[in-house]
Structure 1
Amino acid sequence: MNKHHPTPPIRKDTSIAITRDNILYNTESLLEPSVIMFSLWGVGFWHEGSLTAPYLILSVVLFYITFPCSSKIHMAYWRVIRNIILSWLLLAGLVLGFGAITGYIKLFSPEEIKFWLWLTPTCQLIAVFILRASASLILKLQGPQKRAIIAGMNEQGIALAESLVRNIYTTTSCLGFFDDRDPERLVNKNGFQILGKLADITEYVKQHNINMIYLSLPMVSQPRIVKLLDELRDTTASIYILPDIFLTDLIQGRMGQVDGIPVMAICESPFTGIDSLFKRLTDILISLFVLILLSPLLLAISIGIKLTSPGQVLFKQRRYGLDGKEINVYKFRTMTVCDDGSDVVQATKDDSRITSFGAFLRKTSLDELPQFFNVLQGNMSIVGPRPHAVAHNEMYRKLIKGYMIRHMVKPGITGWAQVNGLRGETETLDKMQARIEHDIDYLRYWSLRQDIYIIFRTIWVIIKGQDGAY
């Protein structure tokens, strides 16, 4: 991740197991979702005497939202406790909020809800600590460590080797590297062993009982890769290819098939299939709740704008939405002018165009509230990359590589960049670059829990007050 990026507290775990046969990591990914599901079942059996439909449906939804859970096996104990409690508060808050909005909360008694609220995180903590205590035994049951070598000493190959050395729970040990370059030309700060040239790999694999081979060669070396793969057919080792720098910046990267032909997704929208349905349903329910709850405030702001400056209450500005198509975004008017041409000047500190009441609205982000109508219309989402003026889009898409990737999804009222301080004026290219990197990270690691976290973080930022919005 780029140095600008804080580590997302609840994003999808990126320290994945080196191989998919690592029983410990597979167990961990299932553990907490299963505990959440079974604890709800326990409450149902305790209160109803059987597993009724409301419990079954809710448990399946919760399992889907929380699977796979982030890895905690490397965390300090206090961080595990904090992570589980905070994640549970966010998840429980969402469930109870939706239940209150839809009226389904009446299907559960207050006693059941209270019991479930403290039972679940307690069981989660117990389960995680039991898993940590039994981790070494689980690894032993899986058998002896796999022996691995890496073909190609480059950035991604060294990163893999460092991960294997650092991870005490891995089932794989790295014996060294093979590379055709002279040892003095290789960047080998950690002193990894150079075992030979690429032509030596096949014989070495046979003689040293190598289980796994990682090919960390640039894609331009395709002939060498094909030749090496042909030679390795005479071994029983598992072979993996590490993508070079051209392929490391994946957006929702995954393997798939088209009529039996294997394909690799390099850049794909995270909102497909059931994920798209959950995202849209969440947007509609939260938007309706906010607009109904804050309708008196919306009326008061409208009156305040009319009383403090002449002009319209709402301001419509053309922005780029999903797939780069133009949409009209609604905001409360905070300026004496409504720029929407080919040269839009960003608001700056002490900007003379901002009205006194408008300054308050911008500082508290209340000017963004009409965008919940955009969400209901379906051209915006509650969480996503913030939309920029069309003029700014046309300028920055020429200056920042990958800028338009953010338009693979609907723009949001709030986003990952905004809750990390990248809000308001972007007077330098570096600031806009950092914002775009956060937007792309949001797409790369999206999960429904991430959206929940960003919503709550946005509320906290507004309450606390954050510099940068003028």
Structure 2
Amino acid sequence: MAGTAVDPNASSTAPPRRLGDKARWYLPAAVTADFLGAAVPVGLVFDAAQQARPVYCAVGAALAWTAVQALRRRYATRALGESRGVLPVVHDWLILIGVLAVARVVTGESTPRLAALGALLPALLITVACHKLTYRHLFAARREAQAVSRVLVVGEPEAAEGVIAHLASRTDHPYVVVGVVPVGEGRLDSGVPVTARLGAVPHGPNADATAVLGAVRSHHADLVLVAPGVRIAGERLRRVAWALHDAGLELAVFPGLVEISVKRLETLSAGGLAVLRIAPPVRRGVQTLLKSAMDRAGAAVGLLLLSPLFLALILAIRLGSRGPAFYSQRRIGRDGVPFVMWKFRTMVVDADRLQAELAGANENDGLMFKMRRDPRVTRVGRLLRRTSMDELPQLFNVLTGSMSLVGPRPPLPEEVARYDETELRRLSVRPGMTGLWQISGRSDLSWDETIQLDLQYVDNWSFTSDVDVMGRTLRAVVDGRGAY
């Protein structure tokens, strides 16, 4: 699978599968889905509207949609099958709307605007569905170490080991480390094959390049990933880059940063030096105002629309077990400020007292308490937890501003009391009803994975990412994985 550090066939003579070996049907499937997804609905709607040339309009819309996708490089080998979420597709679709609006004015086309817009909506939905299909297929293929990029790591032993360990611990990337070229003396414990070793200082202008190129050919590597350090930087690194590029090979440099969104990165040149600028996390401005407006409006509309469901659940909870329908608990919010969080009651009334007796049965490896078959959960409570409906009263918290629709889960005071400096950073934003934790496995995640996802959200938050998370939450709720 992608992320596995050792490839036992790294030294075989037959070249293994490479990144370009993604399934051949990805490209024709994407083009066909885009073309027909635009052409067929537009043709049918325009024909029903008695437009004079429905076939020409259908073909024109289809060509425009595929052209937008092509110009946005959605058909490039690197992009096919990769997860981009819904928002990039929506962005492309809005570009299509703009292009066709101009064409409508130029040609004098007279189909009602609302009907024309509705005819283009299936193109968006079909393209998203096609992306989901190819992504699932590619993810399954990478779990079998197919359609991956074979990586040769170059760097000082400690730095190289860190890169190898990080890539091996994750599966959300296409990289498989097949070899390592350490720079200088030092032990490597990862088990990755060592084909060559560079000296602490270069022994000639071409010695490093020759060794690295030999290792690339030996392991059939697609990419050389350099973990720069004192012994592999500046002029020495430049000569290795020249040799690799002259041989038509790719070079990547690991800057030592983790969990930084590419949206926050900008490459600059200062006096001939390549500089990587990292924008600070978004904490104020238009995006935060939009988030607040979406939170309040979404909570108000949600409470209004779900009021009949609230009444039904209240009745079911009261009839199912003794006690109130709502459960309140003190939680810690943004900047460590405590607040009262509301939920539908899913446990017996003395659940908090019984938790101490169940401490030894905790299935979470961190500070949270989780059990798959918690005996305190009522029959109605199991259904509410399975469908996440027990969280709905938190819409009141969102409406009052103590929570957000999207954000890290609000921790308990006793959990926060044991936080270290890193874990405290998750309190930099308002906690949310849903978030990366919710759509990534929920209680099935380890404590370290939970913290990693929360910090990723805190540092890389944007309004569009919130919209994407909310869209993916529906699938997570239907799936129910990790909800207990």
**TM-score computed with the length of structure 2 as normaliser:** 0.51
Aligned pairs for 1:9-20 (under 5 A) are: none
Q: Quick check: 1:322–1:408 contact (8 Å CA) kept in 2?
A: yes
- CA RMSD in angstroms comes to 6.4
1:379 corresponds in structure 2 to 402
2:336 corresponds in structure 1 to 324
1:411 corresponds in structure 2 to 431
After TM superposition, give the deviation of residue 384 of structure 1 in Å: 2.9
SS of 2:311 mapped into structure 1: helix
Distance 2:153 2:352 in 1: 60
* 1:216 maps onto 2:231 in alignment: no
- Count of aligned positions: 361
The AA in structure 2 aligned to 1:453 is R
Correspondence for 2:205 among 203, 206, 211: 203
After TM superposition, give the deviation of residue 458 of structure 1 in Å: 1.6
2:390 corresponds in structure 1 to 367
Residues 202 and 178 (structure 1), Cα distance of their counterparts in 2 relative to 1, 3 Å cut: farther
2:107 corresponds in structure 1 to none
After TM superposition, give the deviation of residue 414 of structure 1 in Å: 2.8
Residues 368 and 235 (structure 1), Cα distance of their counterparts in 2 relative to 1, 3 Å cut: closer
After TM superposition, give the deviation of residue 299 of structure 1 in Å: 2.6
After TM superposition, give the deviation of residue 305 of structure 1 in Å: 5.0
Residues 234 and 376 (structure 1), Cα distance of their counterparts in 2 relative to 1, 3 Å cut: same
Q: Quick check: 2:89–2:128 contact (8 Å CA) kept in 1?
A: no
Distance 1:233 1:438 in 2: 35
Residues 70 and 431 (structure 1), Cα distance of their counterparts in 2 relative to 1, 3 Å cut: farther
Distance 1:277 1:386 in 2: 21
SS of 1:196 mapped into structure 2: coil
**TM-score computed with the length of structure 1 as normaliser:** 0.52
SS of 2:477 mapped into structure 1: helix
Distance 1:176 1:338 in 2: 53
After TM superposition, give the deviation of residue 251 of structure 1 in Å: 4.4
1:388 corresponds in structure 2 to 411
Correspondence for 2:122 among 117, 123, 134: 117
2:259 corresponds in structure 1 to 250
Distance 1:440 1:2 in 2: 23
Point out where structure 1 has 5 or more consecutive residues left out of the alignment.
4-17, 19-27, 50-62, 96-105, 130-147, 425-429
Q: Quick check: 1:151–1:213 contact (8 Å CA) kept in 2?
A: no
The AA in structure 2 aligned to 1:196 is L
Distance 1:234 1:73 in 2: 27
Point out where structure 2 has 5 or more consecutive residues left out of the alignment.
4-18, 20-25, 54-67, 94-111, 135-151, 214-222, 246-250, 360-368
Distance 1:176 1:403 in 2: 33
2:475 corresponds in structure 1 to 456
* 1:108 maps onto 2:120 in alignment: no
Q: Quick check: 1:156–1:242 contact (8 Å CA) kept in 2?
A: no
CA displacement, residues 119-162 of structure 1 (integer Å, 9 cap, x when unaligned): 77469979x99xxxxxxxxxxxxxxxxxx994435235668999
After TM superposition, give the deviation of residue 419 of structure 1 in Å: 4.4
After TM superposition, give the deviation of residue 452 of structure 1 in Å: 1.5
Distance 2:449 2:375 in 1: 24
Distance 2:294 2:278 in 1: 26
Aligned pairs for 1:184-195 (under 5 A) are: 185-186=187-188, 191=193, 193-194=195-196
Residues 451 and 305 (structure 1), Cα distance of their counterparts in 2 relative to 1, 3 Å cut: closer
Q: Quick check: 1:43–1:112 contact (8 Å CA) kept in 2?
A: no
Distance 2:378 2:153 in 1: 65
Distance 2:204 2:163 in 1: 19
CA displacement, residues 256-284 of structure 1 (integer Å, 9 cap, x when unaligned): 699x9x78659x64676565455445544
After TM superposition, give the deviation of residue 409 of structure 1 in Å: 3.2
Distance 2:482 2:209 in 1: 63
CA displacement, residues 362-403 of structure 1 (integer Å, 9 cap, x when unaligned): 4543321111122233332333322222123324x25xx843
SS of 1:436 mapped into structure 2: helix
